[in-house]
Amino acid sequence: MRSFPPVRWPRTPRAAIALQKRLRPQLKLGGGPRAPKTVAGADLSYDLETGRLYAVVVVLSFPSLQLLETASVVRQVTFPYVPGLLSFREAPAVLAAWRRLKRPADLLLCDGQGIAHPRGIGLASHIGLLLDVPTIGCAKSLLVGTHGPLGQSRGSTSPLRHDGRVVGAAVRTRDGVSPLFISPGHKVGIAAAVRLALACGAGFRVPEPTRLADRLVGRLRRGEPVQNAVLESGRIDVPHFRSAIRPPHGAKPRMTPERS
């Protein structure tokens, strides 16, 4: 297991925005892994009633997309929900899960934005910069920018433009379904981000790495065992863990309203 330096997270939105502006020039955009051997997917869920954030990272073989490893974390949220500052709310949990992997992947797909972001550094970009790994933002909703008409067949794309430059693409990942908004996060270009996101498809709208992470987040919230799970306030065994994170009877899962 690799060791990582500690990260000092801002405590206020003003400080977070200032940090984003300082970090944005450090992003490396272009190129990307031509033939990664493994690809990871990250997804999260937030419970408004308990203030807990559930995060899962999965590692799949590429291009066969077979599940190799899973890591997960449950922790209390420490940063408020502010549009455009989602990385300060969610990235700490993703980083904690990533650090529990025995074999970190060659590429990471995030359910969130890359550079298609008001300040050009969304969740995927911020995580990629901190981990120094290629990352791609695979967002289900549009945060910034506009795009032209898009064909109905899988693989159809249209450039996503914001403030006079192309920051990603609207991509039809399945025939006739709503597009995903793909943008590079770090150490990858737009063309490679689109190519790799499509290559990670397994017949669903969402790429398989993030789709599997989403499914396991649901298991985690229900208290079902997930490999390498840890409660940030202390390590506990699976039976105790199962009861400790089970939502109250009748409570409905609640998700973060948008991914930025």
The rounded distance, in Å, linking the Cα atoms of 152 and 171 is 10
Q: What is the signed CA dihedral for 106, 111, 117, 123, rounded to 10 degrees?
A: -60
| Predicted confidence (pLDDT) per residue in 182-191, tens digit | 999 999 999 9
Q: Which residues contact 119 (CB under 8 A, 6 or more apart)?
A: 17, 20, 21, 24, 84
Place of tokens 């997804």: 43
* Predicted TM-score (pTM) of this structure: 0.85
The percentage of residues in the chain with a pLDDT greater than 70, rounded to a whole number, is 85
Note whether 11 and 18 are within 8 A (CB). Answer: no
Question: Once rounded to an integer, what is the mean pLDDT over residues 213-221?
Answer: 92
Amino acid occupying residue 148 = G
135-139 and 108-110 beta bridge pairing? parallel
Task: Specify the length of the chain in residues.
Answer: 260
The percentage of residues in the chain with a pLDDT greater than 90, rounded to a whole number, is 79
pLDDT at 35 > cutoff 80: yes
Lowest mean pLDDT among 26-35, 42-51, 128-137, 218-227: 218-227
Question: Once rounded to an integer, what is the mean pLDDT over residues 164-191?
Answer: 96
> What confidence category does residue 224 fall into, taking pLDDT thresholds of 50, 70 and 90?
confident
> What confidence category does residue 77 fall into, taking pLDDT thresholds of 50, 70 and 90?
very high
Note whether 60 and 80 are within 8 A (CB). Answer: no
